[in-house]
Amino acid sequence: MRRFLDFFIAFKEYVALTAFVAVSLTMIAVSRTTDVMPLRAFATGLVGAIQSTYAWIPNPIALARENRDLESQSIELAAEVGRLRRAEAENRELRRLLGIAPHPDWKLVAAEVVGKTTTFQRNMLTIDLGSKDSIVPGMAVITDAGLVGRIYATSQNFSLVQMLLNTDLRIASKIARTRVEGIITWEGGPSLSMRNIPKALDVQLGDLVVSSEYSSFFPAEVPIGTVDSIAPEANSLFRRVMVRPSVNFFRVEHVYVIQKDITKERERLALEGRVNEGKAQKR
Amino acid sequence: MQYLSYAGLGLLIIIVQVLVSRFLSIAGVSPDFLLIFLVWLTMREGQFAGETGGFVLGLILDILSSSILGANALSKTAACFCIGYFFDRERIDQNIRNWPFLVLTLLAAIINNFLYYFLITRGSEISFGEFAFRYGAVGALYTVFIAIFPLLYWSRKRTY
């Protein structure tokens, strides 16, 4: 025992380093599992409560920019509203004539951003809605400009939103004009990357990118961004499409949560489908 | 008692880092206040205290900042362990109040950032080199820039 203690004291730096590295690597291995969710929820509540106390402090530079952006956006939107009203009327009439069901309405709940956690690769927002407001992980979060991200963890009063600028997120998306499908990811930098786009398909600069019906987390047709650059990938049939996000993630202050957990609904539907398939096979 | 005050100061710095970093973030890059504190702690108390502080405070930062659990703990432990080799009991004040503090902060930030980005980009399609250079190297320089301010304060204290 004495020898062991002497050894530990003599080499305590190395013994401690070995122990710390082992514990850290174990935690990294379990970090993405659901076992750590209660800890995440606790941290979300704690950080959110502190952040909400100073969320009222304005950032003058950001406010000035936001005002400028909003002014130009409102001019563009005024023109677009007129066009969309006409298109909506036409669309409703055509759907009625063809017998297609109308698009479902989303229930939006407004939330205020009380904190931002920018850890370079896993950017998060904290909003002032939590489980007591019926917010659950997986719900989509949007602004008037487009998709922000999805709910990652909740505490009673606060929720953590995983932004699109997050290396863990993959989103099924499509080009609105040509319906070309791809996967949106973030690899650092100001733009998103749209992958799996064959070179032969029609994608042009300025094309609007929206969420796809194949997305497990997000409702379809929510704007994600516009095509910023297109480059061929070396030794590949695909090309690299960079997408400038519609939302300015560093200035976002108010968001809306789509209060409908489409993930669960789709999982339930898939399960029902499998059960029915099984029944049919038994017959 | 002294170690308790270090722990309290470390916790305060983590809270500042988590809460204030958005005001200091430039193009998504923020300074690492906790690393500056850990370099100071290591230069003052030695390798063992530094790596223990790096592990405990890094883990708390992981929990509060929604980072991958253990990533900050590991990278900060390793950074403090390396910096600990430069600990000199005879020259504690001279080292903390002069340019060695900035050089060691830069070294610690480079070790910390590159290890951290290696951990978070593993198993993904992201290019480690590009990500580590863009955020790691720039982040390290930003951290050193911020470290100039406490250095100036400590140097001034010596004069009077």
pLDDT digits (tens, 9 = 90+) for A171-225: 888 888 888 888 888 877 778 888 878 888 888 888 889 988 887 778 888 889 9
What are the backbone dihedrals phi and psi of residue A226, each rounded to the nearest 5 degrees, phi first? Answer: -125, 150
Helices A37-54 and B47-64 cross at an angle (nearest 10°) of 80
Counting one residue from chain A and one from chain B, the pairs whose CB atoms sit within 8 A come to: 125
Determine, for residues A13 and B64 on separate chains, whether the beta-carbon distance falls below 8 Å: no
- Phi-psi label, residue A158: left if phi above 0, alpha if psi -120 to 50, beta otherwise: beta
At residue B130 the predicted structure's pLDDT band, cuts being 50, 70 and 90, is low
Instruction: Say if the Cβ atoms of B21 and A46 lie within 8 Å.
Output: no
- Beta strand residue intervals within chain A, DSSP E: 108-117, 122-127, 140-142, 147-154, 159-166, 171-175, 181-185, 192-198, 208-211, 223-232, 238-245, 254-258
Token pair of A94, please?
């055509």
Domain contains A43:
no
Q: What does pLDDT average to over chain A? A: 79
- Tell me what the mean pLDDT of segment A18-42 comes to: 79
| CA distance, residue A28 to nearest chain B CA (Å) | 5
Is pLDDT above 50 for A230?
yes
Determine which of B17, B66, B122 to mutate to test the interface with A (most A C-beta atoms within 10 Å).
B66
- Predicted local confidence at residue B158, as pLDDT: 55
Which residues form the domain of A234? 171-245
Residue-wise pLDDT for B28-53, tens only, equals 678 889 999 999 999 999 999 999 99
Chain B partners of A188 at a C-beta cutoff of 8 Å?
126, 130-131, 134-135
Residue A135 forms part of a structural domain: no
Give the amino acid at A37. Answer: M
- What is the spatial distance between Cα A217 and Cα A196, in angstroms, rounded to a whole number? 19
The CATH number for A227's domain is 2.40.10.350
pTM over 0.90: no
Q: Which residues is A225 bridged to in the sheet? A: A209, A245
Please give the tally of structural domains in chain A: 1
Asked whether A73 and A247 are in contact (CB, 8 A), the reply is: no
* Mean predicted confidence (pLDDT) in A233-262: 81
Q: Are A127 and A152 in contact (CB under 8 A)?
A: no
The pLDDT assigned to A29 comes to 82
pLDDT at A274: 66
Give tens-digit pLDDT for A133-186.
888 888 889 888 888 998 988 888 888 888 888 877 888 888 888 888 888 888
Is the pLDDT at A118 greater than 50, yes or no?
Answer: yes
Q: Which of chain A's residues have a Cβ under 8 Å away from the Cβ of B68? A: 28, 31-32, 122
Section B141-158 average pLDDT: 83
Say if residue B85 is exposed, middle or buried (CB neighbours under 10 Å; 0-12, 13-18, 19+): exposed
**Predicted local distance difference test score (pLDDT) of residue A181:** 86
Q: Looking at the domain assignment, is residue A129 inside a domain?
A: no
* One-letter amino acid for residue A81 of the chain: V
* Pick from A57-61, A177-181, A201-205, B137-141: least confident: A57-61
Contact B68 A50 (CB under 8 A): no
Asked if the Cβ–Cβ distance from A20 to B77 is below 8 Å, we say: yes
Residue A198, in any domain of the structure: yes
Q: Does domain B2-159 have CATH number 3.40.190.10?
A: no
Q: Is the pLDDT of residue B160 over 50?
A: no
Give yes or no for A160 touching B (CB within 8 A): yes
Per-residue confidence at B78, pLDDT binned at 50, 70, 90?
very high
- Give the whole-angstrom CA distance, residue A152 versus residue A159: 7
Residue pointed to by tokens 């076992």: A35
Token readout for A270 is 């898939």
Residue B66's closest CA among A248, A26, A118? A118
Are A160 and A152 in contact by the 8 Å Cβ rule? The answer is: yes
Counting beta carbons within 10 angstroms of the beta carbon of residue A49, is it exposed (0 to 12), middle (13 to 18) or buried (19 or more)? Answer: middle
- Exposure pattern of A151-181 as b/e (b: 16+ CB <10 Å)? bbbbbebbbbbbbbbbbebbbbbbbeeeebb
Task: Find out whether B50 and B97 touch, Cβ atoms under 8 Å.
Answer: no
In a domain, A222, yes or no: yes
Q: What is the ipTM of this complex?
A: 0.86
Whether A90 is in a domain gets the answer: no
* A21–B77 C-beta distance less than 8 A: yes
Query: What is the reported pLDDT for A30?
Result: 78
Q: CA of A191: how far to CAs of A148, A164, A214, B90, in Å?
A: 14, 10, 22, 51
> Would you call B68 and A24 a contact, using CB atoms and an 8 Å cutoff?
no
CB nearest to A21's CB, from B47, B59, B74:
B74
Inter-chain touch A122–B51, beta carbons under 8 Å: no
Query: Which among A20, A25, A47 is the nearest to B55, CB-wise?
Result: A20
Mean pLDDT over each residue of chain B, to the nearest integer: 84
Let me know if residue A232 belongs to a domain: yes
State whether A121 and B120 contact (CB < 8 Å).
Answer: yes
Q: In which element (H, E) is residue A209 found?
A: strand A208-211
> Residue A81 has what pLDDT?
80
Q: What is the pLDDT at residue B108? A: 93
Residue A10 lies in a domain: no
Percent of chain A with pLDDT over 70: 81
